Amino acid sequence: MPTYDINDPTDLDILKAQFDIISGNEWDEYIQIAEQRGMGYKNINILKTAQRKAGISKYLSPKVVLWIMSLVDQLDSDEEE
């Protein structure tokens, strides 16, 4: 995942757009993968929050969106290997 600066409005818009593309069902898959890999309580909880807020990133702080998208990138890259 490229490095995003949450203080840059363009980077923040890109992150939020990437978040909004992911559907509730896809979040469920990410949660299941994270639970199988034992990624930790906090990471799984934030993915569940993402599932509840699917498509409406405007209600999440920039730091949380960055955290969630970095988890998604980590889950995707692990899956490819």
- Residue 62 scores a pLDDT above 90: yes
Over residues 13-57, the pLDDT tens digits come to: 999 999 999 998 999 999 999 999 999 999 999 999 999 999 898
- The contacts of residue 1 (CB under 8 Å, 6+ apart) are 69, 70, 73
pLDDT at 1: 66
Domain boundary assignment for the chain: 9-80
Q: Note the helical H segments in 1-81.
A: 9-21, 24-37, 41-52, 62-80
